[in-house]
Amino acid sequence: MKAGREKSGWKPSRSGPWPIVQLGGELAPGEREWLHTNGAGAYAMSTVPLMHMRRHHGAFVAMLEPPLGRHVIVSHGETTVHVEDDRRTYRLSTHQFPNVAPTLGYRLLEYFAMDPIPRWTYRLGAHTLERTLCLARGRNESVWSYTWYGRTPAKISIRPLMPLRPIDSLMNEHGGMMQVVTLRPGAVELKPVPALPSVHFTHEGMFMGSPDWWRRFEYLEDRADGLAFQEDMWTPGVFELVLEPGKTCHVAVSVGSPLQGRPAEIVEEAVEFLRARDLGPKRSNAVRVLAVAAEQFCLDAVSPPSVAAGYPSHQLFVRDWLIALPGLFFAREQYDRAEKLLAELLRHQRGGLLPAVVPSPGAQRARSLPDATLWLFETARLFLARLGPRHPFMVDRVFPALARAFLRFTGPRQKLVWQSADGLLVTQEPGVALTWMDAQVDGKPVTARSGIAIEHQALFARGAELLTTLANFYGYDALAARAGEAANRVRAVFRSRFWCVDTDYPYDCVSEARDRADAWADQSVRPNALIALAIDPALFDDWQAEAILSRVRSELLTTQGVRSLSPQDRLYMGHFGGNVAEREFAYHQGTAWTHLLGYYVRAAHHLWGDEPQGSDELVRLLEQVIDSAPLFGQLAQLSDGDAPFRRRACPAQATAVAEILRALVELGG
């Protein structure tokens, strides 16, 4: 990964897989984003010089109602340092306002590092200021620390800018802020928004109340996405502290209750936890980087535990949760945590099916989704390989859930999912896409993959085979026979229905009807055949597997992911941009998805075996994706299908990190 890091302007620190970037007063090296989380849904996120580019950025984004009630409490800590012996005042902030260049705080920024918490080093004349930001593990608390390396004391002023709104909205100036402040020694309590909990500040200086509005901050990523992009922020006043040479002072903010513990101890606890996520020098640099990244999606420091699908804004998608679990936890040998999170997910099974998303406490259950339930079998197969059939979790929780799902799939015909006359699995609902390609515009699916989807047959056949093994082991002979027959029927019929001679590639979907005049088959060259090959190679002969991989390499594979549609298709859209509708159209019509590289590696590795040259090529492909990521140490959801393959959509995606990490470990990383 060395060459990639040098090109991208960052390198790992001496103490682990933590990125360090030297800015030297230049803005361009600071365009990348960073992310810091606390295991309970709270996060801090921005670009390197803290110039927010999207509404979801913030110095302290609290989780008020787990698992999805994120609010931007403090967007910025507007910081000014006054050095008496220089008679100079330094403003450290960088913002974008209308029709002007960014403010110049970035010119003072020498270094940025995540080692493992965000750390900024500023050169202020002959002096150096180091500041860090740290979230308390499992609590809505944030500690800002300032260490002064100067000859004489200095004064620092910190003005919190507080939009106090959900992450997906924006704040505009209004007269409804409650400007009542409660002062105590070293503490400030305020509740400017009656509907939100109190906000508590702890400090080591003095607070001067001067409530006001700062106006018209601009978010350039939101503007590029065709969204509203200007915001106003309220501030309660200014904290002033004295910086003593060689000493560290703190300002902390918490939501709902005062700070629990001393700031230095909170920082020490978080740093110790995060450093322990590093797998150590015996693993490759790429594996170490992604092992640290994986932790940011694990929200098990709060109840109920969950897996975040992505940052900065994503729901708790069940499909993503199941796909990500093996890579996030098995690749790091954290089986107990994986059990805990799968057990939480299984609580939501109803009528054999899992929901599309995990509902918030008290919220209405989302619609059931057979596609998500099918991924349960694939995840359970990997649990079995690591826990064995005698493990209580497999016996008491996993096997019953699989049996319920299988009986739902193969029982009397109901809506959403049923078996065709020849044994294939049909997933269908009028006007709704029931596969992972589920983007909609004006309530209609962009990719209408109704009927019999190729990857569903692979998941069903492999899942039925798994259930056969478990049912035989536990003595459920009738269930074992039924599941075994289902697996055999799917594989037999699959071969006669899915191979397209005209394209030398499988059909993407086929109709339930086979011999009627309205029978159809979709010849679109999509990556779903690759997914099917990776999950159940028994569906294909070796020559078919070679043909699939050859077509994927020539038409779908890019340096950043696997395209969702061949560029030769008339519906291909390789650019992900424009307004919301245009982006929805592009999601599955040509954009390259990062996590699909995991299936490419799995399928290729199965076919080629452990041939060193092939494995080295695959490792280089995956390392290149890590090096060019727009967010330090994280992987984006997708990229444009066309060069230069700019990373798009969610900048930190759980399935992307999990699948690439899993692939690297399986390749010997």
Name the domain boundary from 517, 537, 561: 517
Q: Are 255 and 210 found together in one domain?
A: yes
Whether 306 is covered by a domain: the verdict is no
Give pLDDT tens digits for 138-182: 999 999 999 999 889 999 999 999 999 999 999 999 999 998 899
CATH number of the CATH domain containing 268 = 2.70.98
Average pLDDT over residues 69-76: 95
Average pLDDT over residues 407-429: 92
Name the domain boundary from 517, 544, 576: 517
Q: Are 283 and 270 found together in one domain?
A: no
Q: Are 445 and 539 found together in one domain?
A: no
Kindly tell me if the per-residue pLDDT of 374 is higher than 50.
yes
Kindly tell me if the per-residue pLDDT of 310 is higher than 90.
yes
Q: Are 388 and 243 found together in one domain?
A: no
Whether 301 is covered by a domain: the verdict is no
Give pLDDT tens digits for 88-121: 999 999 999 999 999 999 999 999 999 999 999 9
Average pLDDT over residues 659-665: 96
Whether 414 is covered by a domain: the verdict is yes
Q: Are 289 and 173 found together in one domain?
A: no
If DSSP codes are grouped into helix, strand and coil, which group holds residue 372?
helix
Q: How far apart are CA 615 and CA 602, in angstroms?
A: 11
Kindly tell me if the per-residue pLDDT of 209 is higher than 70.
yes
CA torsion, ordered 322, 328, 332, 333, to nearest 10 deg: -20
Kindly tell me if the per-residue pLDDT of 533 is higher than 70.
yes
Give pLDDT, residue 467: 98
Tally of domains within the chain: 3
Q: Are 261 and 185 found together in one domain?
A: yes
Give pLDDT tens digits for 267-291: 999 999 999 999 999 999 999 999 9
Give pLDDT, residue 110: 95
Whether 249 is covered by a domain: the verdict is yes
Q: How far apart are CA 71 and CA 130, in angstroms?
A: 27
Q: Who contacts 472 (Cβ-Cβ below 8 Å, separation ≥6)? A: 480
Range of the domain at 70: 18-275
Kindly tell me if the per-residue pLDDT of 590 is higher than 90.
yes
Mean predicted lDDT score pLDDT of the chain: 92
Whether 640 is covered by a domain: the verdict is yes
Kindly tell me if the per-residue pLDDT of 6 is higher than 80.
no
Whether 314 is covered by a domain: the verdict is no
Between 624 and 155, the more confident residue is: 155
Q: Are 473 and 571 found together in one domain?
A: no
pLDDT band at 366 (very low <50, low <70, confident <90, very high): confident
Q: Are 401 and 450 found together in one domain?
A: yes
Q: How far apart are CA 233 and CA 181, in angstroms?
A: 17
Give pLDDT, residue 612: 60
Give which of 149, 89, 141, 118 is closest to 20, Cα–Cα: 118
Kindly tell me if the per-residue pLDDT of 5 is higher than 50.
no
Give pLDDT tens digits for 327-359: 999 999 999 999 999 999 999 999 999 999 988
Between 33 and 13, the more confident residue is: 33
Q: Are 611 and 509 found together in one domain?
A: no
Q: Are 252 and 291 found together in one domain?
A: no
Give pLDDT, residue 15: 64
Q: Are 510 and 572 found together in one domain?
A: no
Spatial strand order of the sheet with 521-522 comes to 452-453, 509-510, 521-522
Do residues 326 and 334 lie in contact, with contact meaning Cβ atoms separated by under 8 Å? no
Q: How far apart are CA 641 and CA 577, in angstroms?
A: 12
Kindly tell me if the per-residue pLDDT of 2 is higher than 50.
no
Whether 426 is covered by a domain: the verdict is yes
Name the domain boundary from 517, 546, 578: 517
Whether 328 is covered by a domain: the verdict is no
Give pLDDT, residue 445: 86
Between 34 and 447, the more confident residue is: 34
Give this prediction's pTM: 0.93
pLDDT band at 669 (very low <50, low <70, confident <90, very high): low
Q: Are 371 and 513 found together in one domain?
A: yes
Radius of gyration of the chain (CA): 26
Between 144 and 628, the more confident residue is: 144
